[in-house]
């Protein structure tokens, strides 16, 4: 039976292997894997796993009827421009095809956006962006190659943070 790589789809979504180092930032973990690659280590046996995850939602603004209408009009105008451009390329003049498609698209986009906002009942009167942020990054390696990877990482300038214990990561398979 062949060994599965940590990213092999047959292995499922859970990371596999032993933790060989941990870092506070992704760049530090990436630097360690780059170092292993430079030492000609088989890096397809390595996985970087973000831990201590938090979902962060940053509020970017307040939603009002004018802002919703403006965004809807812009989105609709973009779609109308695309359709108008296709019609213009098939034959027609700029004023006959492109401008009306742009205006109709803007109007339809505005109308649908305002209706959708009105139907929301004020349940979410703000805009935001969301992201998942990791507090730490663990570098895992397949068990059969973990000792060699740890040995190589001791040569890394600045050195890695050594994990507590030498068992698998979070109880995941080896």
pLDDT at 171: 41
Please indicate, yes or no, if residue 4 is contained in any of the structural domains.
Answer: no
Query: Tokens 């214990």 — which residue?
Result: 165
**CATH number, domain with residue 35:** 3.30.70
Would residue 170 count as lying in a domain? no
**Residues 24-55 pLDDT 10s:** 999 999 999 999 999 999 999 999 999 999 99
Q: How many CB atoms lie within 10 A of CB 135?
A: 10
Average pLDDT, integer, range 145-174:
68
- Residue 137: strand, helix, or coil: strand
Q: What is the pLDDT of residues 57-81, one digit of tens each?
A: 999 999 999 999 999 999 999 999 9
**How many domains is the chain partitioned into structurally?**
2
* Secondary structure percentages of the chain, helix, strand, coil, to 5: 45, 25, 30
| 71 and 110 together in one domain | yes
Residue 72 lies inside a defined structural domain of this protein: yes
Q: Are residues 100 and 50 in the same domain?
A: no
* Same domain for 138 and 53: yes
Does residue 51 fall inside a structural domain? yes
- Residue 63: Cβ within 10 Å count: 15
* Spatial separation of the C-alpha atoms in residues 82 and 84, rounded to whole Å: 5
d(CA 127, CA 57): 10
Q: Which domain holds residue 151?
A: 16-62+134-164
Q: Which of 135, 132, 142, 138 is nearest to 7 (CA)?
A: 142
| Its pTM surpasses 0.85 | no
Tens-digit pLDDT profile for residues 94-105:
888 989 999 999
Q: Please, which pLDDT band fits residue 160 given cuts at 50, 70 and 90?
A: low
Tell me the CA end-to-end span of the chain in Å, nearest whole number: 14
Is 3 within a domain? Answer: no
Phi, psi of 139 (to 5 degrees): -105, 120
Contact between residue 34 and residue 144 where contact means Cβ atoms under 8 Å apart: no
Structure-token pair, residue 139: 């570098």
Quote the CA–CA distance of 129 and 125 in Å, as a whole number: 14
């Amino acid at each position: 039976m062949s060994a599965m790589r940590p990213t092999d789809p047959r292995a499922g979504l859970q990371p596999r292997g032993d933790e060989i180092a941990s870092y506070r930032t992704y760049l530090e973990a990436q630097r360690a894997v780059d170092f292993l690659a430079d030492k000609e280590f088989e890096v397809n046996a390595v996985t970087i796993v973000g831990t201590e995850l938090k979902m962060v939602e940053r509020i970017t603004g307040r939603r009002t009827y004018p802002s919703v209408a403006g965004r809807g009009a812009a989105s609709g105008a973009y779609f109308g421009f695309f359709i108008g451009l296709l019609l213009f390329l098939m034959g027609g003049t700029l004023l006959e095809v492109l401008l009306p498609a742009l205006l109709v698209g803007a109007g339809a986009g505005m109308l649908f956006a305002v209706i959708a906002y009105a139907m929301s009942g004020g349940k979410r009167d703000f805009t935001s962006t969301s992201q998942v942020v990791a507090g730490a990054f663990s570098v895992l390696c397949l068990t059969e190659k973990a000792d060699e990877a740890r040995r190589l990482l001791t040569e890394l300038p600045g050195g890695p943070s050594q994990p507590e214990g030498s068992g698998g990561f979070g109880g995941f398979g080896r």
